[in-house]
Amino acid sequence: MTQSCDDPLMTQSCYDAPSRYAAIIRAGEALLCEGYDKAQPQLIAKTAGVSVGLFYRYFASKRELLTDVVKCHLKNLHCQLAEEVVLYDHPVEALKCYLVLTLRYFRKHQGLIKLFFMEIGYGDVEATERLKAARQTNRDILRVILQRGISQQVFLDQNALDVEMAITSIIGTINWSLYNLLVVQNKDIEPDELADRILSFMSRSLVQCKDSGQC
């Protein structure tokens, strides 16, 4: 779908397929976050103003719906990241921008993120496939930052820095930090503080040591 989750539904015809898909997404997010067990497809469809049959035309289950709600938010986040990260010439500042914007967005929608962790997680095969494109976009954004850092000789050179492993490490650190906070500790996200901690941790394995005071 090309329509953003944030597009106003009332500006489109009720017979427009992207509009009806967006209506289900918005109704589904609201009801799922109120209570996963109570948010049945019939209620979601009624709230969205569509038939139950149309719900099942798009989604085999509310697990698929939840995954697409997350996918839609990731698309919005990645659009924001793509616009903002390029404004920073220094790769460390670009990486910090990436972390801060990502964590602030997740803080805004932390109820949804917690629900996804608890009900689906990252080991679900179907969810992994539905989120494949979004995850690749996220990796591409980080890859640009890291490769710029290598070319500017701020980060380790390409012989010393495994870019794909570094990307996986950054994303994994974010995901597991959020899981620990939201699910294990049942705490709120403090985005700026967490971004600083992750940046400090990752910089030790990314940034070249030009003198003893920087290591």
Q: What confidence tens digit (pLDDT) does each residue in 86-127 have?
A: 999 999 999 999 999 999 999 999 999 999 999 998 778 999
155 three-class SS: strand
Based on the fold, state whether residues 27 and 106 are members of the same structural domain. Answer: no
CA dihedral 69, 70, 75, 79 (to 10 degrees): 120
pLDDT reported for residue 209: 66
- Rounded to an integer, what distance in angstroms lies between the CA atom of residue 208 and that of residue 155? 5
Contact between 29 and 69 (Cβ < 8 Å): yes
- Rounded to an integer, what distance in angstroms lies between the CA atom of residue 184 and that of residue 151? 39
Number of Cβ atoms within 10 Å of the Cβ of 6: 12
- Rounded to an integer, what distance in angstroms lies between the CA atom of residue 24 and that of residue 87? 35
Q: Which of 14, 31, 59 is the last residue of a domain?
A: 59
Q: Which domain holds residue 47?
A: 1-59
CATH number of the domain within which 128 lies: 1.10.357.10
Counts of helices then strands in the chain (DSSP H, E)? 10, 0
In sequence order, the 6+-apart residues with CB closer than 8 A to the CB of 37 are none
Q: Does the pTM of the predicted model rise above 0.75? A: yes
Based on the fold, state whether residues 86 and 188 are members of the same structural domain. Answer: yes
- Rounded to an integer, what distance in angstroms lies between the CA atom of residue 182 and that of residue 204? 26
pLDDT reported for residue 158: 87
Assign 193 a pLDDT band (cuts: 50, 70, 90).
Answer: very high
Based on the fold, state whether residues 18 and 90 are members of the same structural domain. Answer: no
Asked if residue 167 has pLDDT above 50, the reply is: yes
φ, ψ of residue 137 to 5 degrees: the values are -60, -45
Based on the fold, state whether residues 7 and 67 are members of the same structural domain. Answer: no
Based on the fold, state whether residues 68 and 167 are members of the same structural domain. Answer: yes
Kindly state the average pLDDT of the residues 135-163: 96
Asked if residue 85 has pLDDT above 70, the reply is: yes
Asked if residue 152 has pLDDT above 60, the reply is: yes
What's the structural domain count of the chain?
2
Contact between 83 and 59 (Cβ < 8 Å): no
